[in-house]
């Protein structure tokens, strides 16, 4: 493989901080880190703590627990898996040292773990090794102990927390957590957390982020549909898409890493493949070979 993932060279440790989103809710953000930190939500109830996503390894999760202990000594009783991606959930085993009662996920997330979790783990690790510190400490896939199909409600003392899936998301089972007036959801947010961005409580900033994301997706898919209709190969489709995307989006962090994956998925979508194909390390290599093919 002549080229490597842009993310492989991203070895700089990102500074993680807590951001207060409401009386009970904190966001754990990591300076624009693309796959961890930004959408870890900590909800501190009257009698316990709930974590949404756990980081990629038990060693990394243990550091997060230490940071949580600076905020509260209440027991961590619930872990919520927002979706199946390894980089977000494989640290869940670290919470066994806590008074953990349930690892919670939607039915869709559970199905995705079973269907593609084993393939996703080595693929993500090879692409972004920095996000898997102490990879060998992972005991295996994280499987939920409590699965729900529709809205689920937890009571943390007098605090009501609701969890519901987003069945139309690009990752089946990706869900939202509601706590009082705060609504933080993986991917986007009304008030709280922007996926792969900093946390914010300013509604105007969130609205701009949503508009920006809408423009990104619409521009991407329009270009890819044109490329697919013209019978372009992956390298040609990528070049065609970048001519429209780069003037507006090239400054997005690690754009060189994630745009090829976006283009490949959009090509599938344009060709009628509605359910995302299982991604593997072999598909990683296939994609990069395609990007370097002769014109």
Q: How many Cα atoms are found within 13 Å in the side-chain-facing hemisphere of 62?
A: 11
What is the CATH number for 136?
Answer: 3.60.15.10
Residues 91, 233 within the same domain: no
Judged against a pLDDT cut of 80, whether residue 15 lies above it is answered with no
Residues 56, 146 within the same domain: yes
Residues 196, 216 within the same domain: no
Residues 6+ apart with CB under 8 A from 39: 27, 52, 53, 82, 88, 184, 186, 193, 195
Q: Give residue 78's domain range.
A: 6-201
Residues 140, 240 within the same domain: no
Place of tokens 């990591």: 30
Residues 238, 192 within the same domain: no
Residues 32, 119 within the same domain: yes
How much is the average pLDDT of 61-68?
88
Would you say residue 1 lies in a domain?
A: no
Euclidean distance between CA atoms 88 and 77, whole angstroms:
18
The count of domains in the chain is 2
CB 39 within 8 A of CB 193: yes
Q: Which of 138, 170, 201 is the last residue of a domain?
A: 201
Residues 51, 105 within the same domain: yes
Q: Which of 31-35, 117-121, 162-166 has the lowest mean pLDDT?
A: 31-35
Would you say residue 223 lies in a domain?
A: yes
Residues 116, 221 within the same domain: no
Give the whole-number percent of the chain exceeding pLDDT 70. 77
Judged against a pLDDT cut of 50, whether residue 144 lies above it is answered with yes
Residues 55, 73 within the same domain: yes
How much is the average pLDDT of 267-284?
88
Judged against a pLDDT cut of 70, whether residue 253 lies above it is answered with no
Q: Which of 82-91, 135-144, 170-179, 235-244 has the lowest mean pLDDT?
A: 170-179
């Amino acid at each position: 493989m002549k080229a490597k993932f842009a993310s492989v060279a991203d070895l700089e440790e990102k500074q993680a901080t807590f951001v207060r989103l409401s009386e009970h809710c904190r966001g754990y953000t990591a300076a624009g880190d693309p796959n961890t930190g930004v959408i870890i939500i900590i909800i501190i109830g009257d009698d316990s703590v709930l974590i949404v996503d756990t980081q990629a390894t038990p060693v990394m999760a243990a550091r997060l627990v230490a940071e949580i202990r600076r905020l509260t000594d209440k027991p961590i009783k619930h872990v919520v898996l927002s979706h199946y991606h390894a980089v977000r959930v494989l640290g869940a085993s670290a919470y066994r040292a806590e008074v953990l009662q349930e690892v919670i996920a939607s039915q869709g997330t559970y199905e995705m773990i079973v269907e593609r979790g084993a393939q996703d783990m080595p693929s993500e690790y090879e692409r972004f090794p920095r996000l898997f510190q102490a990879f060998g400490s992972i005991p295996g896939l994280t499987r939920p102990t409590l699965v729900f199909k529709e809205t689920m409600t937890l009571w943390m003392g007098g605090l009501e927390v609701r969890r519901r899936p987003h069945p139309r998301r690009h990752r089946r089972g990706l869900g939202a957590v509601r706590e009082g007036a705060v609504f933080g959801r993986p991917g986007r947010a009304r008030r709280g957390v922007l996926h792969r961005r900093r946390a914010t409580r300013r509604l105007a900033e969130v609205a701009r982020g949503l508009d920006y994301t809408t423009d990104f997706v619409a521009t991407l898919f329009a270009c890819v549909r044109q490329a697919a209709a013209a019978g372009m190969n992956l390298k040609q489709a990528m070049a065609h898409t970048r001519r429209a995307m780069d003037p507006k989006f090239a400054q997005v962090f690690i754009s060189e890493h994630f745009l090829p994956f976006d283009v490949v998925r959009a090509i599938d979508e344009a060709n009628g493949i509605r359910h995302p194909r299982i991604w593997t390390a072999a598909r990683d290599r296939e994609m990069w070979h395609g990007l370097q093919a002769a014109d």
